[in-house]
Amino acid sequence: MIIKSAEFVMSNSEVAKCPKNNLPEYAFIGRSNVGKSSLINMLTNHKNLAKTSGRPGKTQLINHFLINKNWFLVDLPGYGYARVSKSSKKQFQRFIPDYFQERQQLVLAFVLVDIRHEAQKIDLEFMEYMGENGIPFSIIFTKADKLKPKAIERNVAAYLQELLKTWEETPQYFVTSSSSAIGRDEVLNEIERTNRQMNALKEQS
Ligand code: GTP
Ligand code: MG
């Protein structure tokens, strides 16, 4: 898919205030610092569309980016970051379940995990939550530039193995790097395919 335009639309602390139109949207979620905002910049080919930082806890609101004037990418705060104050943690962590439970326009979530690490409890629990709530998701492994191809293969296999302890089948997954654009076409093609499916459904109804 070709990205012709990518624009920041709004930041919100409440799901009810998010864009009202019915465009399909794709959300990025995962631990703080895993690379959600960087991935949005990589996919859209913009350096600073989404704000990134070496320190966790950068993204604190629900951010909508309108792509090609007809679908949204959504950057969310990360979970699992302990160093923000208790009250602000409570407040922004509340968006996450609200967003996933209430946002009708969400068609697919991408759960990001750092390819260098073993499966972490907090991510596995989050995926379980998505499964229990019937929210479709794919996994995106991030920071693949930090590992050699063999190690990538080994870590992905180990991760999928871990998932198979609780899931009957593993979700679709992508291996990406925001610094070297690995996985860009694959993720964009999946979004394009899903957009087409959504349009076909709309035409049927
Ligand atoms: P929060 O908004 O705090 O939840 O973090 P985030 O998940 O949005 O992470 P962000 O995109 O801000 O990136 C965190 C750090 O990881 C930054 O220093 C990025 O430069 C770095 N980073 C992100 N993606 C990659 C990648 O693919 N490769 C490498 N080497 N570094 C990355
Ligand atoms: Mg961020």
Question: How many domains does the chain fold into?
Answer: 1
Count CB atoms within 10 A of the CB of residue 84.
Answer: 17
The number of the ligand 1 atom at minimal distance from the alpha carbon of 51 is 12
Domain that holds residue 12: 6-204
pTM for this prediction? 0.95
Q: Pick from 19, 6, 92, 110: which is nearest to 56 by CA?
A: 92
Residue 89 resides in a domain: yes
Residue-level pLDDT at 205 = 77
Question: Helix (H) and strand (E) counts for the chain?
Answer: 5, 7
Count CB atoms within 10 A of the CB of residue 47.
Answer: 9
Residue 139 resides in a domain: yes
Average per-residue pLDDT for the chain: 93
Q: Pick from 70, 28, 30, 81: which is nearest to 50 by CA?
A: 28
Residue-level pLDDT at 201 = 86
Pair 111, 127: CB distance under 8 Å: yes
CATH number at 112 reads 3.40.50.300
Q: How far is the CA of 203 from the centre of ligand 2 (A)?
A: 35
Residue-level pLDDT at 196 = 95
The number of the ligand 1 atom at minimal distance from the alpha carbon of 60 is 2
User: By CB neighbour count within 10 A (0-12 exposed, 13-18 middle, 19+ buried), where does 55 fall?
Assistant: exposed
Percent of the chain with pLDDT over 90: 83
Residue-level pLDDT at 132 = 94
Verify whether ligand 1 is closer than 6 Å to residue 34 (CB atom). yes
CA distance 202 to 83: 44
Residue 1 resides in a domain: no
pLDDT tens by residue, 137-193: 999 999 999 999 999 999 999 999 999 999 999 999 999 999 999 999 999 999 999
Residue 31 resides in a domain: yes
